[in-house]
Amino acid sequence: MKQCMDSANLHRRLAKIIGQIQAIDRMIDEDVPCEDILSQINAAKSALNKAGQVVLEGHIKHCVKDGIEHGDADATIEKFTKAVERFANMQ
């Protein structure tokens, strides 16, 4: 649902995450200490979590709002609940 999220923001975030993952891959070949690799993995995980927050925020502001105002409120709430559950499973 491209219209419900800030796609430019998400593309920037994902490009950064891709760079982080590639750097982690290089760190393995460069024999970087495990603690440093784990730190970078945690940073990439946090960045993915933030990207998920951006998607969820767009979902609330557009899809949920529109569904409640112009659609089936019960179905909208069910879809919103599913989205929150999926986001929570990312943690």
Kindly tell me if the per-residue pLDDT of 2 is higher than 70: no
**Whole-structure pTM value:** 0.82
Among candidates 15, 82, 87, which has minimal Cα distance to 55?
87
The range of the structural domain enclosing residue 20 comes to 2-90
pLDDT for 90 equals 76
| pLDDT mean across residues, the chain | 92
Is there a contact between 64 and 76 (Cβ–Cβ < 8 Å)? yes
pLDDT tens readout for residues 18-41? 999 999 999 999 999 999 999 999
What was the pLDDT predicted at 46? 96
| pLDDT, position 1 | 60
CATH number at 71 reads: 1.20.58.1000
How many structural domains are present in the chain? 1
**What span, in angstroms and rounded, lies between the C-alpha atoms of 80 and 20?**
30
